[in-house]
Amino acid sequence: MQPLTLRMDERDNVAIVANDGGLPAGTALPGGPVLLDKVPQGHKVALQAIPAGAPVLRYGVAIGFAKQAIEAGRWVHEKLLEMPAARALEGLPMATVTPAPQPPLEGFTFEGYRNPDGSVGTRNLLAITTTVQCVAGVVAHALQRIRDELLPQYPNVDGVVALDHAYGCGVAIDAPDAAIPIRTLRHISLNPNFGGEVMVVSLGCEKLQPERMLPPGTIAIAEAGEDAGLDVVRLQDEAHVGFGSMIDSILRQARVHLERLNRRRRETVPASELVVGVQCGGSDAFSGVTANPAVGFAADLLVRAGATIMFSENTEVRDAVEQLTSRAATPEVAEAIVRELGWYDRYLERGRVDRSANTTPGNKAGGLSNIVEKAMGSIVKSGRMPIAHVLPPGEKLRRDQRGLVFAATPASDFICGTLQLAAGMNLHVFTTGRGTPYGLAACPVVKVATRSDLARRWHDLMDLNAGQVADGAKSIEEMGWALFRLLLDVASGRRTWAEQHRLHNALVLFNPAPVT
Amino acid sequence: MQPLTLRMDERDNVAIVANDGGLPAGTALPGGPVLLDKVPQGHKVALQAIPAGAPVLRYGVAIGFAKQAIEAGRWVHEKLLEMPAARALEGLPMATVTPAPQPPLEGFTFEGYRNPDGSVGTRNLLAITTTVQCVAGVVAHALQRIRDELLPQYPNVDGVVALDHAYGCGVAIDAPDAAIPIRTLRHISLNPNFGGEVMVVSLGCEKLQPERMLPPGTIAIAEAGEDAGLDVVRLQDEAHVGFGSMIDSILRQARVHLERLNRRRRETVPASELVVGVQCGGSDAFSGVTANPAVGFAADLLVRAGATIMFSENTEVRDAVEQLTSRAATPEVAEAIVRELGWYDRYLERGRVDRSANTTPGNKAGGLSNIVEKAMGSIVKSGRMPIAHVLPPGEKLRRDQRGLVFAATPASDFICGTLQLAAGMNLHVFTTGRGTPYGLAACPVVKVATRSDLARRWHDLMDLNAGQVADGAKSIEEMGWALFRLLLDVASGRRTWAEQHRLHNALVLFNPAPVT
């Protein structure tokens, strides 16, 4: 077996082992040391002797300090590393780096659904917005009836989605932090994949009243010149006599929206109408080597094409804050990054934890020693363009907020995905090393494997294999272009594996306020 | 129309209007004042002049102080009331009241499923425990296959339930407060309605590893003398090639448990094996007058029969803390009440709110002016017996913890229900005035309407009409007995309305720790 190791930066004193199954002790690395330990795939080997207390460098960054002297050829696992303290949020370089300008990328298009507000959907879905968990059972029943009885009559509608959630009542709705879940729900119901059609199912007595979730003026005009108003089915309305009448009301209102949705057709729109959210989950040491760099390359292409691309995951960028603030387009953007990450630091402190709460057993098994190393591999997804905007959690991007966006969200796959939906995402990219069947009902998710082994085993769950980069079969650039083209195909209607199996996860709200 | 008003205590200077549609101004109350305002149903009328600053008394308790002088016959709505401060948790009467001993109630039984650990199920369900939200889509797919293909072969099994949730990863799992959601999930999977059969679907890399959720020794012995061990399907296991193989693994394991569950039969067991959780939601002014007193009467019957009955909802008992601590069976129980409510006070303070965050627009429309009035009507569900035990959130009752239990949970319907499931609940009672289609997949929910109007309109959602008390058709005692007998029937297999329509809500965990 040809030993294959990957070093990210010329300053690095460790490299990771790329071979499937790792490498045995005694293996001589070409131009490097002989392995003194068996090193698992994705794990680090010391390329040179590292004295006790000296930095262990990966991505050219100190991901930790050696707790003891480490000989060249040793397996550098997480127990040998002392994690550095988090970089203070004061005195950061603010908008100091201006990336070389890139030529615009023109002529790329996809087939999308143009909405009344100018945004573009990649799917044509009926969404049923709910104000409160109380109605979830009734809505699930109605949803099945709509799928079985109504959708066959409306062949141009791709599906129906219940926007159900744990919020709406039994929560401290006037707490300062309650603004986050409330605006998240508001903005999800306005996601471009729902065509500007909003129908709400409410119980009646809940704290989150429909008018509070969607105040007058927030709903796009459905038909030219016509204010659709707020279409609410309230289960407690006196007109409802019996369970069947509640279901009938929901089906009747669904028909009104299905009629309009069914008249829509895909049309050719520029790639600039993509609003792509990127995320990683079940990460391993390959995430930052194969899939995330390919996503970063594609991110640059998207920005050059005039599109919007969001990266997120506060705890996974926190240790790279210096890279973010320096790459901010303006000092105001840099300050917004500091403000969001500072708010999150304090949020974690209230719960008596810090950013190191992020890494998982799977991350560590996959070779990621700590959150610093994980963050360095995670941040790569953002590419090299200037950071143009910062979006607080639950907020929605304006149509003029294009380019690279830092959408400040927790790293939890579901909370991040939910908040990116609220931001207006119409296409989702998800990289994974350990493997996850992640999906969203509201938006197609393109899943990118970091390793060929995973892509082979999960052949009908992974949409793209970035492991080809580690295999030497493809360059980062080639993978980035392949992803970019796949995104245009999926945006045009090509179904992802998760869509084919109808796999989707729950909406999970970020609610930093108390429940009651 | 005969004016009908309800006064709860001889000290009260207000009464509530019971008539459907309320009473018009000018109505002369028998032996009372003439109404100066139209008073809606469930709302309060001043029986005598109340000077500015004087207490407004209901249930013999000051639910507020008059912000201005209130004439006899006026509608006493929430804007006229200044809410009292919360009772300090120091200097409370501790176990000072000894309720008169009641004779044991003997000879009542139900037909239940006896479990290996001695507990009794009221349903015979296969539960699929999940460690993390990541697997929810795959489990939902498997669940449908199990329903369609396997359940018809196992006619003695009542159904299959996915225990899915938002926890498991992307959470600060080592934060001090993380113990609550983790033990909640552990204990739900051990609920008596699942027959001691535990199968787990795990992703593989998640923070909440199966062995952390269910450490060795926590699972009941499934077959006599045999330790079943932990049965885990890990989606990331290398043996899984393709999506279909994951589904096959889940179905194969499901069969093992279905075989055992299918051999079980109902047998006659004493009523003392009931573990009943009580809750109210969508409350109105009648909740504390009709349904909750009937539940309280049934609670006393259950305690006399040797059963376990839990009441909960921290913010809805906080203003009645004095009644609880004085009624504690021992000073230790009283101290535990103070500890749990004090912890919750501080939890709310961290989010910069207090107990007054509880009431909803629906509560107020239904006549409940504030949380004090709501609490006085809520606490009635607990009956008059001594409080024998206090259970922290997510903990499970031991088999020897019988009688009346205060299970300290938030008041959110779903969080409270989820925590009561973890406590070991095998039957759920839910009272509602405004109406809610609430249900749980894991446990039958008996819904009790507070008003006849609701019971008539929601004739196929409400299982019992306690509004008959306000109509004068039934006494509290009669309703309490009717509920007690209905509980035995439902425990024996009679299906509730929610079960007939297959309505159920999500499991919602109480996670006071941060997400990451």
In the DSSP assignment, the letter for residue B478 is: H
A425 plus A296 within the same structural domain: yes
Surface of A (215-254) touching B: CB under 8 A: 235-236, 238, 240-244, 246
Q: Rounded mean pLDDT of B174-190?
A: 97
For residue A11, the tally of other CB atoms under 10 A from its CB is: 13
Count of residues in chain B: 516
Measured CA to CA in angstroms, residue B164 lies from A170, A407, B127 at distances of 20, 27, 10
B361 plus B475 within the same structural domain: yes
How far apart, in whole angstroms, are the C-alpha atoms of residue A62 and residue A9?
A: 12
**CB distance A436–B515 less than 8 Å?**
no
Domain boundary residue, one of A82, A112, A145: A82
* Interface check A319 vs B, CB under 8 A: no
Residue type, B506: A
A245 plus A302 within the same structural domain: no
* Interface check A10 vs B, CB under 8 A: no
**CB distance B461–A243 less than 8 Å?**
yes
* Interface check A345 vs B, CB under 8 A: no
Question: By C-alpha distance, which of A468, A491, A493, A471 is closest to A480?
Answer: A468
User: What b/e sequence results for A358-375 when a residue is b if at least 16 CB atoms lie within 10 Å of its CB, and e otherwise?
Assistant: bbbbbbbbbbbbbbbbbb
* Interface check A370 vs B, CB under 8 A: no
Q: Are strands B14-17 and B5-6 parallel, antiparallel or unpaired?
A: antiparallel
Looking at per-residue pLDDT, the higher value among B419 and B284 belongs to B419
Which chain A residues are Cβ-neighbours of B242 within 8 angstroms? 457-461
Which chain A residues are Cβ-neighbours of B236 within 8 angstroms? 282, 362, 434-435
Residue A222 is assigned to a structural domain of this protein: yes
Which chain A residues are Cβ-neighbours of B207 within 8 angstroms? 360-361
Contact (Cβ atoms closer than 8 angstroms) between residue B230 and residue B198: yes
The 3-state secondary structure of B57-96, one letter per residue? EECCEEEEEECCCECCCCEECHHHEECCCCCCCCCCCCCC
Residue B105 is assigned to a structural domain of this protein: no
One DSSP character per residue, A129-174 reads EESSGGGHHHHHHHHHHIIIIIGGG-TT--EEEEE--S-SSSB-TT
How far apart, in whole angstroms, are the C-alpha atoms of residue B232 and residue B164?
A: 15
* Interface check B182 vs A, CB under 8 A: no
A374-416 tens-digit pLDDT? 999 999 999 999 999 999 999 999 999 999 999 999 999 999 9
Count of residues in chain A: 516
Measured CA to CA in angstroms, residue A111 lies from A115, A419, A490 at distances of 13, 25, 9
Q: Residue B456: CB partners within 8 Å, gap ≥ 6?
A: none
Choose from A237, A430, A515 for mutation: most chain B CBs within 10 A. Answer: A515
Q: Rounded mean pLDDT of B212-221?
A: 81
- H or E element in which residue B391 lies: strand B387-391
**CB distance B206–A166 less than 8 Å?**
no
Q: Rounded mean pLDDT of A331-355?
A: 96
A161-177 tens-digit pLDDT? 999 999 999 999 999 99
What percentage of chain B's residues is helix, strand, coil (to nearest 5)? 35, 20, 45
Which chain A residues are Cβ-neighbours of B247 within 8 angstroms? none
Please check the confidence at residue A222 and state whether its pLDDT lies above 50: no
B125 plus B196 within the same structural domain: yes
* Interface check A205 vs B, CB under 8 A: yes
Which chain B residues are Cβ-neighbours of A414 within 8 angstroms? 133, 166, 170
- H or E element in which residue A419 lies: helix A413-423
B434-444 tens-digit pLDDT? 999 999 999 99
Q: Rounded mean pLDDT of B36-49?
A: 96
Mean pLDDT, chain B, whole residue set: 95
How far apart, in whole angstroms, are the C-alpha atoms of residue B489 and residue B372?
A: 35
Residues linked to residue A189 through DSSP beta bridges, in sequence order:
none
Which chain A residues are Cβ-neighbours of B411 within 8 angstroms? 170, 516
What's B219's domain CATH number? Answer: 3.40.50
Question: By C-alpha distance, which of B127, B129, B177, B14 is closest to B80?
Answer: B14
Q: Show the tokens assigned to A23.
A: 């490498």
A295 plus A343 within the same structural domain: yes
Question: By C-alpha distance, which of A446, A452, A377 is closest to A411?
Answer: A377
Residue A340 half-sphere exposure toward CB, CA atoms < 13 A: 26
Contact (Cβ atoms closer than 8 angstroms) between residue A121 and residue A426: yes
Residue A215 is assigned to a structural domain of this protein: yes
What's A74's domain CATH number? Answer: 2.30.130.110
CA distance B224 to chain A (A): 35
How far apart, in whole angstroms, are the C-alpha atoms of residue B80 and residue B57?
A: 13
How far apart, in whole angstroms, are the C-alpha atoms of residue B441 and residue A140?
A: 13
**Considering CB atoms only, which of A135, A355, A411 is closest to B170?**
A411
B432 plus B329 within the same structural domain: yes
How far apart, in whole angstroms, are the C-alpha atoms of residue B393 and residue B403?
A: 18
**CB distance B505–A133 less than 8 Å?**
yes
B283 plus B257 within the same structural domain: no
Domain boundary residue, one of A263, A295, A310: A263
- Of B158-172, B355-369, B388-402, the least confident: B355-369
Q: Show the tokens assigned to B434.
A: 């405004």
Q: Show the tokens assigned to A363.
A: 């991350």
* Interface check B175 vs A, CB under 8 A: yes
**pLDDT at position A220:** 57
Q: Show the tokens assigned to A319.
A: 């240790």
B184 plus B324 within the same structural domain: no
* Interface check B351 vs A, CB under 8 A: yes
Residue B98 is assigned to a structural domain of this protein: no
**CB distance A436–B203 less than 8 Å?**
yes
Chain B CA closest to residue A202: B436
Residue B291 backbone phi and psi in degrees, to 5: -70, -45
Contact (Cβ atoms closer than 8 angstroms) between residue B266 and residue B111: yes
CA distance B369 to chain A (A): 14
Please check the confidence at residue A223 and state whether its pLDDT lies above 70: no
Domain boundary residue, one of A82, A117, A152: A82
Residue A99 is assigned to a structural domain of this protein: no
Query: What are the E-state strand segments in A253-350?
Result: 267-270, 275-280, 308-311
A2-36 tens-digit pLDDT? 899 999 899 999 999 999 889 999 999 998 899 99
**CB distance A439–B137 less than 8 Å?**
yes
Specify the 3-state DSSP secondary structure of B312: coil
User: What angle (nearest 5°) sits at the alpha carbon of residue A423, between those of residues A490 and A110?
Assistant: 25
A185-195 tens-digit pLDDT? 999 999 999 99
Under the banding of pLDDT at 50, 70 and 90, the label for residue A225 is very low
Q: Residue A129: CB partners within 8 Å, gap ≥ 6?
A: A163, A185, A188, A189, A198, A199, A200, A201, A213, A214
Report the percentage of chain A scoring pLDDT > 70.
Answer: 98
Please check the confidence at residue B198 and state whether its pLDDT lies above 60: yes
Mean pLDDT, chain A, whole residue set: 95
Question: By C-alpha distance, which of A127, A134, A137 is closest to A207?
Answer: A134
Question: By C-alpha distance, which of B366, B373, B352, B344 is closest to B449?
Answer: B366
**pLDDT at position B218:** 83
Q: Are strands B125-130 and B159-163 parallel, antiparallel or unpaired?
A: parallel
**Considering CB atoms only, which of A170, A363, A508 is closest to B414?**
A170
Please check the confidence at residue A331 and state whether its pLDDT lies above 90: yes
How far apart, in whole angstroms, are the C-alpha atoms of residue B483 and residue B487?
A: 6
Q: Rounded mean pLDDT of B96-124?
A: 95
CA distance B340 to chain A (A): 14
* Interface check B367 vs A, CB under 8 A: no
**pLDDT at position B220:** 57
Residue B377 is assigned to a structural domain of this protein: yes
* Interface check A410 vs B, CB under 8 A: yes
Which chain A residues are Cβ-neighbours of B348 within 8 angstroms? 172, 514, 516
Residues linked to residue B56 through DSSP beta bridges, in sequence order:
B64
Token pair 């003392």 in the structure block, residue: B272
Residues linked to residue B448 through DSSP beta bridges, in sequence order:
B431, B464
Surface of A (51-70) touching B: CB under 8 A: none
Q: Are strands B387-391 and B308-311 parallel, antiparallel or unpaired?
A: unpaired
Domain that holds residue B386: 274-500
Please check the confidence at residue A455 and state whether its pLDDT lies above 50: yes
CA distance B336 to chain A (A): 20
Q: Rounded mean pLDDT of B30-39?
A: 94
Chain A with chain B: Cβ pairs closer than 8 A: 261
A480 plus A333 within the same structural domain: yes
Surface of B (452-481) touching A: CB under 8 A: 457-461
Residue B439 is assigned to a structural domain of this protein: yes
Query: Dihedral of CA B114/B115/B121/B127: which sign?
Result: negative
Which chain A residues are Cβ-neighbours of B134 within 8 angstroms? 281-282, 413, 436-438, 505
**CB distance A203–B415 less than 8 Å?**
no
Which chain B residues are Cβ-neighbours of A434 within 8 angstroms? 203-205, 236
Under the banding of pLDDT at 50, 70 and 90, the label for residue B468 is very high
One DSSP character per residue, B167-196 reads -SSSB-TTSGGGHHHHHHHHHHTT-GGGTT
* Interface check A172 vs B, CB under 8 A: yes
B365 plus B484 within the same structural domain: yes
Choose from A287, A505, A516 for mutation: most chain B CBs within 10 A. Answer: A516
Residue B102 is assigned to a structural domain of this protein: no
Asked if the ipTM is above 0.90, the reply is yes
Under the banding of pLDDT at 50, 70 and 90, the label for residue A228 is low
If one counts the domains in chain A, the total is: 3
Q: Rounded mean pLDDT of B182-195?
A: 98
Which chain B residues are Cβ-neighbours of A363 within 8 angstroms? 205
B133 plus B205 within the same structural domain: yes
A197 plus A65 within the same structural domain: no
How far apart, in whole angstroms, are the C-alpha atoms of residue A511 and residue B184?
A: 19
Query: Dihedral of CA A123/A129/A132/A137: which sign?
Result: negative
**CB distance B459–A497 less than 8 Å?**
no
Specify the 3-state DSSP secondary structure of A333: helix
Which chain B residues are Cβ-neighbours of A173 within 8 angstroms? 357
Measured CA to CA in angstroms, residue B396 lies from A384, B118, B218 at distances of 52, 14, 12
Alpha-carbon dihedral angle through residues B381, B387, B389, B394, given to the nearest 10 degrees: 20
Contact (Cβ atoms closer than 8 angstroms) between residue B91 and residue B326: no
* Interface check B94 vs A, CB under 8 A: no
Which chain B residues are Cβ-neighbours of A172 within 8 angstroms? 348, 351, 353, 357
How far apart, in whole angstroms, are the C-alpha atoms of residue A31 and residue A12?
A: 15
